[in-house]
Structure 1
Amino acid sequence: MTLPRAELSTAAERFGTPLYVYDAAELDAALARVRAAFGTARVFYAMKANPNLTLLRRMRAAGVGFECVSAGEIARAEHIGAKGDAVLVNGPAKSAEEYAAGARLGATFIVDRAEEVGLLPPRSKALVRVNPALAVSTHDHLATGAAGSKFGVTLEQAPGVLRALREAGHDARGLHVHIGSAIRNAADFSAAFARLMDLHPQTGDLEVLDVGGGWGVDADLAGIAREAQAAASVFGARLWVEPGRYLVARAGTLLTRVVGTKRTGRNFLLTDAGMTELLRPMLYGAQHPVTALWDGEAREKWDVAGPACESGDLLARDVPLPSPTPGDLLAIGEAGAYGASMSSTYLTRSRPAEALWDGSSWTLIRRRETPQEVWAAELQVVES
């Protein structure tokens, strides 16, 4: 949690809960850490982590590019004026709409399978995504570089895909690797880079080596950067990186109020936020720091449970907290990534509002939906 308790309480009173709040200073600090570690590497933000337009505009103003994995994300990039080498188009099953939109912006496509060579728009810029077939230190659902993952081509296939791109008239710029998210062990990156370097005798020098992101928020960025730069130098390539969660996770906090308590086989602290606001604990078993914004000594442990009629709707387990009362405010930290972006309207719940703290004042950067807005796209057919 990067913001003072008083400011968090002010935001909750002003905008209501559940509420996502972001600290602009931490957003800037995270980008500064990446640039300090990776030097002249080109930075692309993995937009799926948090696509709020205000945050995207801040990053664009700072010279950051964007990695997009859907037509909607490409549209967001275009909306804020990003184009050309500021846009990457990624994904294992790109649609015709996504190819066309990427081509219109002059984006670089990340080729995920050999068949894509024949699907790309004419004279496209492209990188070949390589799956290094590694077991990495993260949740199975986040391990994109594992042998059983759906992402990328094999090490054996990569040189042939590069050749096929060139023969088809495309600009085969280089290789791409992304082994997962929230990776705890820096040795996982070392292993991935080593497997890429083994390809150099077959590929020759390249223009770009894109090593993705996936670094845990406590990762040794300097160490990872040294090895990434060494790999790029083997190929004579410029280094590109694609942080997502690293740039926004710590800047974001989910504020939720206590609705009540319940004691059955466990102690449940019931809150007005749950899986529809923060899906990561249910989806990945993610553990977020939880802080009580009320005073008292922590005497009991509580399971923080949301309002959905789902047994898995738990934001945290066994959290030591002071004795709670309805209306008390709880802060769930490291929620800036894949929090608001994965929020849903399941149960016709309104997705949470979002606010940005600039060091002196709050700005609402996404208002809370009304129920009518949630169902606005539905066609209400009335039978005669």
Structure 2
Amino acid sequence: MTIPTAALHTAAERFGTPLYVYDAAELDAALARVRAAFGPARVYYAMKANPNLSLLRRLHGAGVGFECVSSGEIARAEAVGAIGPQLLVNGPAKSDAEYAAGARLSATFIVDRVEEVNLLPPQSRALVRVNPALAVSTHDHLATGAAGSKFGVTLQQAPNVLDALRVAGHTALGLHVHIGSAIRDAHDFTAAFGRLSELRQQTGPLAVLDAGGGWGLDADLYGIAREAWATAGVFGAELWVEPGRYLVARAGTLLTRVVGSKRAGRNFCLVDAGMTELMRPMLYGAVHPVQALWDGQERENWDIAGPACESGDLLARDIPLPHPKRGELLAIGEAGAYGAAMSSNYLTRSRPAEALWNGEKWSLIRRRETPQDVWAAEV
């Protein structure tokens, strides 16, 4: 993140906290890194990472398509003008509404199970998602390519599913693989691509290999890209990729104010954001960098604790901070993915506002909810 500290203070004063802020320059830089590594591969943004319409418009304007896993995400893609080849519809349990919306927009469907061949709208374009049954270097909840996960067809099933698509009158474009999110070891991708390559004798040439995403923020993109292109070459296919967290994580920061401190066996820095604003630490054990936006020489280790009546409502542990004082600001980094997107109204808390920094000024891109917004749909 390149947003000046003074600008972060300005945003917190102007829009209040908790507040998600995004750095447009970092979003652009992340996309540039992907394109530099993967060359002419077609890029689809995995919208679930962060579906804010302003960010989607920026990505769409840069020529990025979208991978969607719900009717709401499909509607967002349509709202920013993404249709046809710019749109993928994914998910292990698609609804009738999602099939209908995808068909209306001429999207490409990612087939996740054998029975889905008979559920597709007539004459669909489709990819077959393959589960390579690998143990990968990420949290169990993020490992979508493991043998016990709910995603994809087996390596043995994939050629028959491609054939079944053709027999049913669909266009079987090729194969899709996505082994998880926040993958730490690039060799996991090598292993997954290798297992797909073994299918070449059974499938023949294919038009598309979709290599998914899931790259760690410090991953060797060039190395992963070489392996992905080599596998695409085995099939004579063009390459598609689906980065989500990689594009938006470092662009986003959660600003939260200190409301107090407590020494009770451990040192607790109490803040106005918690699990309702940033679920990842509680859900995945995710570790986010934390920066104190105030000065102080002496530092101690503090746990960053939110306001929910839940023992697990901790944003970070053992963070060295100057003594926290009420009203000071903390910046929780790498929060642009699955931060605002997974925020909730638990405890009738209002989801936070979101703002975008363009290098010179702030734009409000989501207003803070009111309590009335939270219960507006209740009857």
Superposition deviation, residue 298 in structure 1: 4.6
Superposition deviation, residue 263 in structure 1: 1.1
Tell me whether 1:374 sits opposite 2:374 in the alignment: yes
Letter in 2 for 1:236: G
> Which structure 2 residues correspond to residues 14-163 of structure 1 after superposition, within 5 A?
14-163=14-163
**CA distance 1:180–1:298, change in 2 (3 Å):** farther
Superposition deviation, residue 303 in structure 1: 0.5
Whole-angstrom CA distance in 2 between matches of 1:257 and 1:294: 11
> Which structure 2 residues correspond to residues 202-217 of structure 1 after superposition, within 5 A?
202-217=202-217
Tell me whether 1:342 sits opposite 2:342 in the alignment: yes
Superposition deviation, residue 108 in structure 1: 0.2
Q: Which residue of 2 aligns with 1:231?
A: 231
Whole-angstrom CA distance in 1 between matches of 2:95 and 2:299: 54
Q: What SS class does the counterpart of residue 154 from structure 1 fall into? A: coil
**CA distance 1:245–1:298, change in 2 (3 Å):** farther
> Which structure 2 residues correspond to residues 318-357 of structure 1 after superposition, within 5 A?
318-357=318-357
Identity %: 81
Q: TM-score, normalization: structure 2?
A: 1.00
Superposition deviation, residue 2 in structure 1: 2.9
| 1:205-243 CA-partner distances (Å, limit 9, x unpaired) | 000000000000000000000000000011000000000
Superposition deviation, residue 114 in structure 1: 0.3
Q: TM-score, normalization: structure 1?
A: 0.98
Does structure 1 conserve the Cα–Cα contact (< 8 Å) formed by 2:3 and 2:359?
Answer: no
Matched pairs, number: 379
| 1:105-161 CA-partner distances (Å, limit 9, x unpaired) | 000000000000000000000000000000000000000000000000000000000
Superposition deviation, residue 3 in structure 1: 1.5
Whole-angstrom CA distance in 1 between matches of 2:80 and 2:28: 19
Whole-angstrom CA distance in 1 between matches of 2:208 and 2:33: 22
Whole-angstrom CA distance in 1 between matches of 2:297 and 2:188: 40
Whole-angstrom CA distance in 2 between matches of 1:307 and 1:297: 27
List gaps (5 residues or longer) in structure 2. Answer: none
| 1:53-87 CA-partner distances (Å, limit 9, x unpaired) | 00000000000000000000000011111100100
Does structure 2 conserve the Cα–Cα contact (< 8 Å) formed by 1:278 and 1:315?
Answer: yes
| 1:248-267 CA-partner distances (Å, limit 9, x unpaired) | 00000000000000111111
Q: Which residue of 1 aligns with 2:277?
A: 277
Superposition deviation, residue 299 in structure 1: 1.9
Q: What SS class does the counterpart of residue 130 from structure 2 fall into? A: strand
Q: What SS class does the counterpart of residue 57 from structure 2 fall into? A: helix
Q: Which residue of 2 aligns with 1:175?
A: 175
Letter in 2 for 1:288: H
Whole-angstrom CA distance in 1 between matches of 2:203 and 2:220: 30
Whole-angstrom CA distance in 1 between matches of 2:2 and 2:326: 25
Does structure 1 conserve the Cα–Cα contact (< 8 Å) formed by 2:256 and 2:271?
Answer: yes
Q: What SS class does the counterpart of residue 153 from structure 1 fall into? A: coil
| 1:6-46 CA-partner distances (Å, limit 9, x unpaired) | 11111101100000000000000000000000000000000
